[in-house]
């Protein structure tokens, strides 16, 4: 790993064993990007990579006879107005109305390690030898303003992180209308853009489109979160790139609010990628001595396909973004009462559900919505964070200790950023909701957004919820957030500051998370936002797992978790076995399949185990025993591989392989059963080709399988039926595992699945 500045050629070269990133100071003192890709040898002079020629209609930004034009130059942080007619990364309005800026090289610093950018979350290092950082300071003399571009390259990952900071020194105020976190340019447009799009209950579906001249973009304008519609991630891959070969560049924004990811292709085939805070609705005034810091973009390069990109994101987010007590810990197996009871519960019902959970081997019971204020439905009570003693006469304090006496840990649901108008909080502070004067206040889920851009609001909520936690025995908190921001306006805030409201709101959320995780470091926080509307890297900094989707249907979850795995480690994915018919799709799937999907995540249950049959209860106990045996591999140690794409066929498959390649767990899921179907082979990845492995698959018929039908077809339904055989790693990866379609019939036919354990043998 090195960051080198070649003084004579004025080139910076950032490189490690896998990736190189090269920029230089041009003759106009601005920065040019020369190369980003697979690692190349360092040399004194890379300026030959600069290309220029005279073109019709070009504007030249240096004195004659120079022909440097920004329109045809791969700029490092482009601005508008001096000959570049593409989208800028930075727009600043000055007091005279001008938007023309000229940030030129002033100085740079290279140092070991990585600085934080608090209060914004970001990746980090635990010792200075893990990474090196380059900070380049550019200066605009007319405004007397600095622009600091920061680059960190990690030793052990093909990762470069980027952020930008504006520091204003001038006497006249300026207004930031747009400031991206990073901009990267490519010579050509021979790429496909990959992004994760969707909506409630179908979050992070994989979308791929071929680049074309013009602008392709993803964005969020939701205000409260990164959103279910477009995740703050995109990648550019070569058309031939697959999961396991070819080039791909990933861009992931560590931010939970309005974001923009944009790819612009010029009519000369040049491609510009930018990512950062969405400029729509954003306006940040700076006076002398003030500064503004952008969120971080984590850029990953892979020349070994999409799987390698994803594994890099998984490793760095698991090890150098998540932090605190739970970073390297397996997650407790939990049961949440929401789909079991909704609002209709009392202490006796809760304890009965908890007792049955303990009997099955569950480790954590979570009490969901409805425990506070007058909260018997979602019309009232939100914001009143004190216990409803009619439902829970022992309070949260007493209930949590009763649950612990059963041998379980206790968890609690909260939704701290929202309020019902039918609440004591709203009646006392009607000016604390985000809404515009004399405008209709749009409602969603009968609730409104508290103004977390105001410190007094955050202070109030913190004290209320912290009091509940201090008085109780709580090991887990599910932090929900169930609506987007409309009419973004902060009452009592100066008109000139209204463009700051949405960003300050997110900073308020980070502030509350920081206070709670600091005071209660042993608590496991899980982020949630109407399911997966806030699944972004910044949330993982505070809450190392996120409820992946409210859609708990096993078949749909294969798509959702498959797409989520493009960026996020499976230990971050909240995944539960829920009741059937499924509460979102009314679909019935085998309980074995529901578990086989949920294993590849945090794993838990979202139902009342008292309502299961004896056969289903036996399956649950078996599932929990399996997860306890393999969760270290699945959640902490292993590398995740995608094998079959649910967006392209009837089957989905994936697997996790231990770092030392001695064991693995793989799963195959089918959507609809097929009659008289063709042969099917499951080809694995990531194994040692020269090692011999024992492959095992439990072929015991599903607990939901019709016994009489089983007898008719000669299926044995008594006892465990495990099929095992031995094969070398290269066989399993190249020839694959032959899948018997009759085994899928045993497992339920439609929506059946097969789970394989693979262990190295001497």
3-class DSSP string for 563-592 = HHCCCCCHHHEECEEECCCCCCCCCCCCHH
Residues 335 and 630: their CA atoms lie apart, in Å, by 19
pTM of the shown model: 0.97
Residues 394 and 294: their CA atoms lie apart, in Å, by 46
- pLDDT at position 57: 87
Read off the pLDDT of residues 262-289 as tens digits, 9 standing for 90 and up.
Answer: 999 999 999 999 999 999 999 999 999 9
DSSP SS3 for 152:
strand
- The answer to whether 259 and 232 have CB atoms below 8 angstroms apart is yes
- The answer to whether 20 and 13 have CB atoms below 8 angstroms apart is yes
Q: Residue 576 forms beta bridges with which residues?
A: 604
Q: Residue 293 forms beta bridges with which residues?
A: 165
Least confident of 61-65, 196-200, 498-502: 61-65
For the segment 185-189, the average pLDDT, to the nearest whole number, is: 97
> For this structure, is 553 an active site residue?
no
Q: Is the pLDDT of residue 391 over 80?
A: yes
DSSP SS3 for 142:
coil
**Tokens coding 660:** 């030392």
> For this structure, is 550 an active site residue?
yes
Residue owning tokens 């100071």: 25
Read off the pLDDT of residues 580-594 as tens digits, 9 standing for 90 and up.
Answer: 999 999 999 999 999
For the segment 347-361, the average pLDDT, to the nearest whole number, is: 98
Least confident of 234-248, 371-385, 628-642, 712-726: 712-726
For the segment 545-560, the average pLDDT, to the nearest whole number, is: 97
Residues 630 and 662: their CA atoms lie apart, in Å, by 13
What is the C-alpha end-to-end distance of the chain, expressed in Å?
Answer: 37
- pLDDT at position 395: 97
Q: Is the pLDDT of residue 662 over 70?
A: yes
Residues 582 and 553: their CA atoms lie apart, in Å, by 6
Q: Choosing from 303, 550, 553, 639, which is the catalytic residue? A: 550
Higher pLDDT, 253 or 54: 253
For the segment 327-337, the average pLDDT, to the nearest whole number, is: 97
Least confident of 27-41, 83-97, 402-416, 703-717: 703-717
Percent with pLDDT over 70 in the chain: 98
Distance, C-alpha 509 to centroid of its chain? 17
For the segment 199-228, the average pLDDT, to the nearest whole number, is: 97
- The answer to whether 657 and 629 have CB atoms below 8 angstroms apart is no
Read off the pLDDT of residues 603-646 as tens digits, 9 standing for 90 and up.
Answer: 999 999 999 999 999 999 999 999 999 999 999 999 999 999 99
For the segment 306-331, the average pLDDT, to the nearest whole number, is: 97
- pLDDT at position 711: 67
Please spell the DSSP secondary structure of 342-397, one letter per residue.
TT---HHHHHHHHHHHHHHT--EEEE-S-SBTT-SSTTB-TT--SB-TTT-TTHHH
Least confident of 11-15, 711-715, 738-742: 711-715
Q: Is the pLDDT of residue 421 over 70?
A: yes
**Tokens coding 347:** 């202490």
Residues 82 and 367: their CA atoms lie apart, in Å, by 59
Distances, alpha carbon 710 to alpha carbons 60, 339, 541, 743, in Å: 79, 31, 49, 12
* Pair type for strands 19-25 and 145-154: unpaired
Query: Residue 613 burial by CB count (10 A; 0-12/13-18/19+): exposed, middle or buried?
Result: exposed
**Tokens coding 101:** 């800026």
Q: With cut-offs at 50, 70 and 90, classify the pLDDT of residue 709.
A: low
Residues 221 and 227: their CA atoms lie apart, in Å, by 8
Contacts of 658 (CB under 8 A, 6+ apart): 633, 637, 638, 664
Q: Choosing from 480, 536, 551, 608, which is the catalytic residue? A: 480
Phi, then psi, of 224 in degrees rounded to 5:
-85, -15
For the segment 65-78, the average pLDDT, to the nearest whole number, is: 95
Whats the size of the chain, residue-wise? 762
Around Cβ 389, how many Cβ atoms within 10 Å? Answer: 9
Residues 13 and 72: their CA atoms lie apart, in Å, by 22
Residues 607 and 628: their CA atoms lie apart, in Å, by 20
- pLDDT at position 716: 64
* Pair type for strands 692-698 and 722-728: antiparallel
* Pair type for strands 284-286 and 192-197: unpaired
- pLDDT at position 714: 65
Q: Residue 23 forms beta bridges with which residues?
A: 12, 33
Residues 210 and 684: their CA atoms lie apart, in Å, by 29
Residues 445 and 153: their CA atoms lie apart, in Å, by 44
- pLDDT at position 701: 86
């Amino acid at each position: 790993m090195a960051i080198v500045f070649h003084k004579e050629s004025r080139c910076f070269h950032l490189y490690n064993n896998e990736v190189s990133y090269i920029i230089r100071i041009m003759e106009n003192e601005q920065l040019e990007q020369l190369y980003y890709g697979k690692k190349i040898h360092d040399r004194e002079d890379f300026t030959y990579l600069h290309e220029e020629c005279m073109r019709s209609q070009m504007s030249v930004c240096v004195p004659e006879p120079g022909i440097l034009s920004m329109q045809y130059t791969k700029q490092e942080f482009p601005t508008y107005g001096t000959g570049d007619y593409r989208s800028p990364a930075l727009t600043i309005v000055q007091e005279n109305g001008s938007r023309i800026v000229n940030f030129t090289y002033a100085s740079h610093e290279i140092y070991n390690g990585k600085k934080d950018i608090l209060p914004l979350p970001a990746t980090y290092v635990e010792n200075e030898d893990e990474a090196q950082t380059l900070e380049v300071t550019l200066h605009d003399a007319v405004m007397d303003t600095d622009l600091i571009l920061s680059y960190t390259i990690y030793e052990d990952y093909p990762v470069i992180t980027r952020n930008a900071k504006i520091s204003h020194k001038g006497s006249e105020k300026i207004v930031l209308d747009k400031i991206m976190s990073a901009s990267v340019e490519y010579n050509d447009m021979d790429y496909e853009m990959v992004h994760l799009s969707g909506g409630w209950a179908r979050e992070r579906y994989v979308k791929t489109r071929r680049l074309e001249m013009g602008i392709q973009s993803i964005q969020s304008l939701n205000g409260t979160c990164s959103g279910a519609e477009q995740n703050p991630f995109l990648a550019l891959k070569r058309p031939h790139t697959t999961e396991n070969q070819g080039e791909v560049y990933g861009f992931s924004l560590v931010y939970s609010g309005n974001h923009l990811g944009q790819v612009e292709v010029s009519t000369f085939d040049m491609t510009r990628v930018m990512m950062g805070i969405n400029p729509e609705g954003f306006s940040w005034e700076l006076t002398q001595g003030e500064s503004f810091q952008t969120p971080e973009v984590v850029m990953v390069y892979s020349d070994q396909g999409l799987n390698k990109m994803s594994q890099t994101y998984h490793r760095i987010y698991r090890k150098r973004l998540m932090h605190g007590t739970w970073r390297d810990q397996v997650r407790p197996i939990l049961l949440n009462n929401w789909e079991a009871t909704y609002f209709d519960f009392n202490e006796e019902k809760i304890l009965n559900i908890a007792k049955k959970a303990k009997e099955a081997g569950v480790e954590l019971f979570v009490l969901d919505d409805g425990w506070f204020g007058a909260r018997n439905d979602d019309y009232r009570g939100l914001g009143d964070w004190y216990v409803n003693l009619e439902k829970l006469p022992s309070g949260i304090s007493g209930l949590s200790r009763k649950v612990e006496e059963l041998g379980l840990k206790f968890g609690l649901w909260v939704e701290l950023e929202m309020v019902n108008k039918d609440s004591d909080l709203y009646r006392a502070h009607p000016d604390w909701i985000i809404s515009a004067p004399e405008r209709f206040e749009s409602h969603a889920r009968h609730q409104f957004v508290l103004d977390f851009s105001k410190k007094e609001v955050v202070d109030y909520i913190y004290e209320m919820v912290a009091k509940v936690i201090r008085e109780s025995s709580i090991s887990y908190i599910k932090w929900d957030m169930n609506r987007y921001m409309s009419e973004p306006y902060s009452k009592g805030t100066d008109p000139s500051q209204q463009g700051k409201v949405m960003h300050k709101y997110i900073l308020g959320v980070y502030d509350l998370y920081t206070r709670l995780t600091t005071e209660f470091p042993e608590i496991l926080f899980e982020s949630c936002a109407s399911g997966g509307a806030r699944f972004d890297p910044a949330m993982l900094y505070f809450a190392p797992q996120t409820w992946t989707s409210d859609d708990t249907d096993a078949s749909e979850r294969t798509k959702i978790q498959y797409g989520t795995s493009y960026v996020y480690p499976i230990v971050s994915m909240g995944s539960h076995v829920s009741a059937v018919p499924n509460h979102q799709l009314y679909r019935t799937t085998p309980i074995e399949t529901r578990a086989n999907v949920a294993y590849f995540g945090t794993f838990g249950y979202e139902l009342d185990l008292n309502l299961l049959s004896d056969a289903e209860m036996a399956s649950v106990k078996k599932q929990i025993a399996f997860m306890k045996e393999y969760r270290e591999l699945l959640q902490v140690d292993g590398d995740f591989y995608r094998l079959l794409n649910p967006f392209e066929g009837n089957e989905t498959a994936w697997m996790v392989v231990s770092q030392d390649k001695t064991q693995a767990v793989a799963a195959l899921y089918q959507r609809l059963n097929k009659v008289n179907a063709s042969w099917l082979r499951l080809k694995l990845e990531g194994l040692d080709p020269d090692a011999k492995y024992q492959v095992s698959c439990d072929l015991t018929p599903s607990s939901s399988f019709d016994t009489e039908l089983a007898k008719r077809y000669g299926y044995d339904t008594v006892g465990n039926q495990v099929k095992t055989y031995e094969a070398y790693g290269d066989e399993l990866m190249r020839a694959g595992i032959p899948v018997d379609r009759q085994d899928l019939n045993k497992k339920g036919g439609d929506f059946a699945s097969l789970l394989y354990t693979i262990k190295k043998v001497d």
